[in-house]
Amino acid sequence: MLPIDDSPIVRDGKSLILAMDHGLEHGPVDFEDVPEKLDPATVFETATHDAVTAMAVQKGIAEGYYPSYEDDVNLLLKLNGTSNLWMGEPDSPVNCTVDYAAELGADAVGFTVYSGSNHEVEMYEEFRDAQESARDHDLPMVMWSYPRGQGLKNDTKPSTISYATRLALEIGADIAKVKYPGDPDAMEHACKAAGDMNVVMSGGSKTSDYDFLSTVEAAVNAGCTGLAVGRNVWQRENPTHILDALEKVIFEEETADAALEAAE
């Protein structure tokens, strides 16, 4: 962990990362109800919203679409990612080098680590290479810290999420992205386990406006410095509406109720 308050992906100590790598991780099925979003340009448009501090995409999407948005969007280049088609212990290929991410204009890089996978050893060593290369380029390292594997029955229980944030701190991430552990106390413990490192909550699959914003509110109150979200924004009919509300909950620390009301 290095100080990242001066990074463009953080504003007033907070981050709202819009992620769109679902075409790789889940496939076009995630776009079934919003087929127009198959066109990455539509999501980049959404990312121009003031509340969004960075957009997270894979290399190919960055190559093809970021040049048109580089003045309005900060790029978080996700370095690894995998399809969900194969079988075996969790792993994720490194699809982009940090050098190339820097060349594409990235403001930060992202890396998934499945601690607890029987491929943990390889993944940590790939993380190390990327992290040290990111240091050379002065690029913050965002770690998707997702314990998962044969030895883990439940990947969102409190002790797992606290371990997840701590692992990110120990091996050198600057921001940890973790799932919500189900209750605010557990989230608070996970944030403490991260020391001074920023922790952002994963948005997860689509829920109602209120449920989603309430969870974000709870996470922020528990110490999270923001959110990394995909489906709960771009699967909505009106992404701007929810981003307006998120801006209030995350950056102005308003309640979900107040934010929803204001956003009407």
Residue 77, both tokens: 């280049």
Q: Which residue among 146, 163, 179, 180 is the active-site one?
A: 146
Query: Shortest Cβ distance from residue 81 to a copy of itself (Å)?
Result: 7
Length of the chain: 264
Cβ distance to a copy of itself smaller for residue 235 or 255: 235
Q: How far is the CB of 143 from a copy of itself (least distance, A)?
A: 10
Candidates 156, 171, 204, 255: give the one binding a copy of itself (CB under 8 A).
171
For position 135 contacting a copy of itself by CB under 8 A, the verdict is yes
DSSP the chain: ----TTSTT-BTTBEEEEE--HHHHT-GGGGTT-GGGGSHHHHHHHHTSTT--EEEE-HHHHHHHGGGTTTT--EEEE-B---S-S-SS----B-S-HHHHHHTT-SEEEEEE-TTSTTHHHHHHHHHHHHHHHHHTT--EEEEE---STT-S-TTSHHHHHHHHHHHHHHT-SEEEE---SSHHHHHHHHHHTTTSEEEEE--S---HHHHHHHHHHHHHTT--EEEESHHHHTSS-HHHHHHHHHHHHHS---HHHHHHHH-
Candidate list 5, 39, 185, 252; residue touching a copy of itself; CB under 8 A: 39
> Does 179 interact with a copy of itself (rule: CB under 8 A)?
no
Give residues 192-221 in contact with a copy of itself (rule: CB under 8 A): 192-193, 195-197
116 makes contact with a copy of itself (CB under 8 A): yes
Which residues ranging from 75 to 94 are in contact with a copy of itself (CB under 8 A)? 81-83, 85-88, 91-94
Question: Is residue 145 close enough to count as binding a copy of itself by CB under 8 A?
Answer: no
Q: Does 137 bind a copy of itself (CB under 8 A)?
A: no
**Contact between 110 and a copy of itself (CB under 8 A)?**
no
Please report whether residue 63 would count as binding a copy of itself according to CB under 8 A. Answer: yes
Residue 105 binds to a copy of itself (criterion: CB under 8 A): no
Among 12, 28, 210, 252, binds a copy of itself (CB under 8 A): 28
Does the annotation count 192 as an active-site position? no
177 included as an active-site residue: yes
Q: Which residues are catalytic?
A: 146, 177
